[in-house]
Amino acid sequence: MSKVLVLNGPNIQRLGIREPSVYGTTSYDELVELCTKWGADGGFDVEVRQTDSEAELISWIHAAADSTTPVVLNPAAFTHYSYALRDACAQLTAPLVEVHLSNPAAREEFRHNSVISGVASGTIAGFGVDSYRLALDVLVGLIADSTDSQ
Ligand code: DQA
């Protein structure tokens, strides 16, 4: 089974507790279970991780670049200002899908810009935990395309 990493940035482990009117009531543990199931449905072995540390997230992206592993990434607040994370993501050669639970474009102005989008294969935002399901669905096709073109 091909491996997919689902990586989450700061505060995402607070899902279900943190601003439920914005991010929903599904807990982080439930998100992990759902992603594992959705991945398996698409034929992937999904590993879900979360960190509040920019350095740790960057080290995971470096490892994904070295192993050509596809990534679904919710960069959380790093989305809006981490050029270091963007530079790491630019090194990925397998597909990268950026996801957001909320729709940052419909929120405060500082959330309108993503420094990650320009180096992602695409972005899915605004559908709560279903953003991750859609990202994993889309990866099936993206991986098939990238394998065909090799
Ligand atoms: C988020 C949106 C970001 O603006 C915010 O900082 C987050 C979560 C989302 O999933 O909607 O932490 O990435």
Query: At residue 92, does pLDDT exceed 90?
Result: yes
Q: Please give the model's pTM, rounded to 2 decimal places.
A: 0.96
Mutate to test the pocket of ligand 1, among 74, 81, 123 (most ligand atoms within 8 A of CB): 74
What is the overall mean pLDDT for the chain?
Answer: 95
pLDDT for residue 113: 97
Sketch out the chain's domains with CATH numbers.
2-148 (3.40.50.9100)
| Residues 115-122, mean pLDDT to the nearest whole number | 98
Query: At residue 110, does pLDDT exceed 80?
Result: yes
Q: Is 150 or 117 the better-scoring residue by pLDDT?
A: 117
Alpha carbon of 75 to ligand 1 centroid (Å): 7
Residue nearest atom 13 of ligand 1, based on CA coordinates: 76
Mutate to test the pocket of ligand 1, among 15, 22, 79 (most ligand atoms within 8 A of CB): 79
Alpha carbon of 112 to ligand 1 centroid (Å): 11
Which residues, at least 6 apart from 38, have a Cβ–Cβ distance to it below 8 Å?
A: 46, 132, 133, 136, 137
Candidates 39, 44, 71, 43; CA nearest to 57 is 71
* Residues facing residue 2 across a β-bridge: 44
Alpha carbon of 148 to ligand 1 centroid (Å): 33
pLDDT for residue 141: 84
For 52, what's the count of Cα atoms within 13 Å in the CB-facing half-sphere? 3
Number of H helices, E strands in the chain: 5, 5
Dump pLDDT digits (tens) for 14-24.
999 999 999 99
Residues in contact with ligand 1 (CB, 6 Å cut-off): 11, 74, 76-77, 79, 100-102, 104, 111
- What DSSP string describes 37-85? HHHHHTTEEEEEEE-S-HHHHHHHHHHHHHHT--EEEE-GGGGGT-HHH
Candidates 6, 24, 1; CA nearest to 14 is 24
* Residues facing residue 45 across a β-bridge: 3
| Residues 20-36, mean pLDDT to the nearest whole number | 97
Instruction: Give the number of other CB atoms < 10 A from CB of residue 31.
Output: 24
Residue 125 and residue 99 in contact, taking contact as beta carbons nearer than 8 Å: yes
